[in-house]
Chains A and B, each alone.
Chain A
């Protein structure tokens, strides 16, 4: 059924919701000819506050680091420039880490955007499709001469976040509330995010581990991934890394590339 393309009430009502520079839409009124300014502001406030709250729920460690006033001021800019495009709020804020990286007042915290990236990955892992992780016995049953050709299918929750800073340590200290010692923020850390069953796990990958895991997640065979990891770091240790990834539930299944 076709509707006439006249300008809609929502086209008049919506633009000022997230733009404080705009005046109250002319189409609205209070009862009996009363003003509607404060009345319209209730909607402005509901929209803005609820979206800032949504970001605070997605990025609790970032808020803990910055304090609520700094966080809410920063989030307000983001909400006004980038409102959600999906009714699923747990999908919101994918651009927030990038926004933080550019945010003028956050430049003294260069690791903050990476902490946000880990938190965004954490929430994606939390909502990811349920799947049983690969059992260690399956890997143990592979004949040694075929190991190099082995291809891994990642678990739906698995993600890697690389950082030039100690983002994993900073994330952990501010997410779980565990008081830690002084953190050397300049030590680079890579995060592995998994959810083998129902609890999201964030781990710090050893040297070369992020390159290795990323190759495997992309479907490159174990031999290639190992070569790439050794190129990235001479300290790379194959057994430790494979065991760590399997134990964290990073993969769902294994096969040989030619069998696909």
Chain B
């Protein structure tokens, strides 16, 4: 086996990886591993869904070790159920901590969403009302996760298709409060902003103007699909199965112009294309980052 820290060694103090600066990355999909490895170390980082690497051993860990050897890693949790009212799963927290200790990711993130109710896991990022009560639950859960992994997380803004009658505050106020109370950073998913803005009839630009951009430690871009709602109006679906839409690229450029080089990930989770297609999406993001952001030191490690 390789020299990676064993999952059992999670009592070790966790190193903080250096910030990776304004570089673009992609979701890591195992089918792309041969193409990625044959190209050798490249500028860029990879992001994985943490839960896919929570098995005890086998090929997934071998693949992740191979990727991690030459590239910064972002560990993206999709199942912690931070947005739900029930206590976090202690076993899941321990597994997450073990993974952070083993792979020393540059970025750790989770969602403002929930996926577990009682004992059922629904495998989707479900929405929550924004109230003082849910704010308290979310802050407790972010605190708990940060205590478990001994480092701050980035919390991602959701894409949503409906709202709750009991909601009393805006999503941006809610997210701002979570960041202020817990010290967490934010993962700004610009496709989610665009999807939610369309679905709820608000302005994506207004949302971004109100978003605490100074807290943003990573940006997500992805493609979305189109459906219609009960009234026959456009309803966007956060599908991650196609290229980033032009409107989302425009919003991205506006954000980067405002906040400079922020690590940016192109997500692609369904109808996975060949590696060059995904790589080209990341290159398009990198081009915008290079145009507006200061050169990132991390990008110079593997000068082309």
A-to-B contact residues, CB < 8 Å? 1, 3-4, 6, 8-11, 13-14, 17-18, 27-32, 34-40, 42-43, 46-47, 50-51, 54, 83-90, 125-131, 156-157, 195, 198
Contact = CB atoms under 8 A, between A and B. Distances in A.
Interface string B58-99: 111110000000000000000111001110010010000000
Contacts of A88: 51, 54-55
Contacts of B114: 10
A83 B202 CA distance: 35
A50 B56 contact: no
Contact of A195 (B58, B85, B162): B58
Contacts of A89: 51, 123
A120 to B, nearest CB: 14
Most buried by A among B80, B84, B85: B85
B136 A3 contact: yes
A13 B137 CA distance: 17
Interface in B251-299: none
Interface string B89-126: 10010000000000000000000001111111111101
A127 B229 contact: no
Given A10-B117, A198-B62, A43 B230 contact: no
- B interface residue count range (under 10 / 10 to 19 / 20 to 34 / 35 or more): 35 or more
A144 B150 CA distance: 55
Contacts of B116: 87
Interface of B: 1, 51-52, 54-62, 79-81, 84-86, 89, 92, 114-124, 126-129, 133-134, 136-137, 140, 161-166, 199-202, 227-231, 233, 235, 237
B53 to A, nearest CB: 10
Given A35-B230, A127-B57, A27 B164 contact: yes
22 contacts: A8-B84, A9-B128, A18-B120, A30-B162, A30-B230, A31-B200, A32-B201, A34-B231, A34-B233, A36-B163, A39-B235, A42-B235, A43-B127, A50-B123, A83-B122, A85-B121, A87-B89, A88-B51, A126-B59, A127-B55, A127-B57, A130-B61
Given A89-B123, A128-B58, A36 B162 contact: yes
B56 A47 contact: no
A14 B120 contact: yes
Contacts of B59: 126, 198
A127 B57 CA distance: 5
A84 B163 contact: no
The 7 closest A-B pairs by CB, nearest first: A127-B55, A87-B79, A130-B57, A35-B230, A14-B117, A129-B56, A39-B162
A13 B126 contact: yes
Nearest to A79: B123
A39 B121 contact: no
Contacts of B117: 10-11, 13-14
B124 A127 contact: no
Nearest to B57: A130
A153 B60 CA distance: 25
A47 B123 contact: yes
Contact of A39 (B79, B81, B126, B229): B229
B230 A9 contact: no
Nearest to B134: A9
Contacts of B140: 1
Contacts of A3: 85, 133, 136-137
Given A47-B124, A130-B58, A27 B166 contact: yes
B165 A29 contact: yes
B51 A39 contact: no
Contact of A130 (B1, B54, B81, B121): B1
A35 B51 CA distance: 35
Given A30-B163, A35-B231, A127 B123 contact: no
Contacts of B228: 38
A121 B56 CA distance: 15
A6 B161 CA distance: 25
A51 B128 contact: no
Contacts of A127: 55-58, 60
A83 B121 contact: yes
Contact of A29 (B61, B81, B163, B237): B163
Contact of B229 (A17, A38, A86): A38
A125 B55 CA distance: 10
A2 to B, nearest CB: 11
A43 B85 contact: no
A18 B126 CA distance: 13
A46 B85 contact: no
Contacts of B60: 127
A126 B141 CA distance: 32
A90 B79 CA distance: 13
Nearest to A127: B55
Contacts of B80: 87
A113 to B, nearest CB: 24
A87 B165 contact: no
Nearest to A36: B162
B231 to A, nearest CB: 6
B228 to A, nearest CB: 7
